[in-house]
A = this chain, B = another copy of it.
Amino acid sequence: MSSAFDHVSADLSTSIEELSDLLRIPSISALPEHAGDVREAADASAEALRRVGMEKVHLEQYENGNPVVRGDWLGAPPGAPTLLLYGHYDVQPPDPLDEWISPPFEPAIRDGKIYARGSSDNKGQFFALVKGLAALFQAHGSLPVNVKWTIEGEEEISGRSLFKYLEDHKQELRADAVFVADNNFPRAGLPAVLTGLRGLVYTEIEVQGAAADLHSGTYGGGAPNPLNALGWIIAGLKDTSGHVTIPGFYDRVVDPSPEEMESWRRLGIDEDRLLRDEIGSDAFFGEAEYGILHRLYARPTLDVHGIRGGFSGDGSKTVIPARAVAKVSMRLVPRQDPNEIFEAYRKRVVELATPGTRVTVRALSLDQPVSAPVGGRGVQALARAFRRAFDEDAVFVRMGGSIPVMAAFQKHLGVELIASGFGLPDDRLHSPNEKLDISQFEGGIKTTTALLEELAG
């Protein structure tokens, strides 16, 4: 089993050189003038797959979208599982340029770290997967499981090409699990596996009162005021203890597993630092009966994001606005259904409408929560792989936000999600001086070899 690891270490300098070649391509998907570079990165990614032994490697393009790189190796023994691998070859713009110590697209190694835009997010990470396959081929001449690849070029611009591709190629992409390595360790030396991400129901509540804006002197006391009405609606959706008061809202919410709760204790979050330095307030707000990580990871919430209507500039305009709109979203946790929650929410909002107002509730997005339970075969295999590669038990963590690609894999392919990553919290994604620690890169390659071996059982 250790022979693949040996090849990883022996080939590390070559791996770094190959990664550096990829990092030199300024494949900034947000900037049209870099369209050629984006295409070059797609070609380079495809070439990397070919070089490592993938077959039928090709690009799939949707209209003017950036191509999805595809390639498979399906030569595993009969009955072996199939693992889908993911990456993205596009990167964020590098501004502000003058804050970079070395230029963003000229990879530089300092103190055991590779500095370049895309080093951690995500070229360095998906390239670790590629090199993991290479090490296995070198050690055994084959892979222990079948492998399929999708590498996209629109992750940083929330593009839809990959999602369309997944929807159109459900059969072709059938797999037992998908491994997405686009995240980081909570701290150096502590690998983490994601077991859940919250979903999102984003809505607009429109309250119509009078036919036109009215003067509060003339009509105050008689006319409906949509902003006051929104006050009652907002106060009627969540109480001051942080509990959402929509009937049925918590019905499907389940407690995190004991393994997850234990993991969160191991993380040893400094709550005071989180409150003072990160949030910058003198008190948390929320369901006090749950720990802070439990609330941020595994409890659903409701937040108001903005309210439009009337007059909010400087000075004193005494308008009763005809109409007001509030933007309100709910974060959902695994097993909550966005459509069911939206309907219960809509019903509650309409019930809260006061005389003289007409309330309209619109859903702007309905994103499923993502669940990757601790007991899953792939998740357990990754935990064992991390143990072998990093000599430490992984923690099981969750994310409070959504990562659309993870939800899309679950939605379109119905596969088990193995979500993790090899970055560190100080990698400065999307910022100047993005870097990837070479030890994390090497550990990531080893973890990949071990993951495939563990999956093969």
A residues at B contact (CB < 8 Å): 198, 200, 202, 209-212, 214-225, 227-228, 230-236, 238, 240, 242, 274, 279-287, 292, 295-296, 299-313, 315-322, 325, 327, 329, 331, 354-358, 364-365, 399-402
Contacts and interface: CB of A to CB of B under 8 A. Distances in A.
B304 A225 contact: yes
Nearest to A355: B283
Nearest to A276: B211
B232 A235 contact: yes
Q: How many copies of the shown chain assemble into the complex?
A: 2
Contacts of A295: 221-222
Given A216-B305, A217-B331, A225-B304, 4 more contacts: A228-B303, A303-B318, A308-B313, A312-B325
Contacts of A274: 222
Contacts of A235: 231-232, 234-236
Contacts of A216: 301, 303, 305, 329, 331, 401
A228 B302 CA distance: 9
Contacts of A364: 315-316
A166 to B, nearest CB: 22
A305 B303 CA distance: 21
Contacts of A211: 279-281
B311 A306 contact: yes
Contacts of A319: 305-306
A319 B304 CA distance: 8
Given A202-B318, A228-B234, A306-B321, A400 B311 contact: no
Given A316-B327, A364-B316, A304 B227 contact: yes
Contacts of A305: 216, 227, 310-312, 317-321
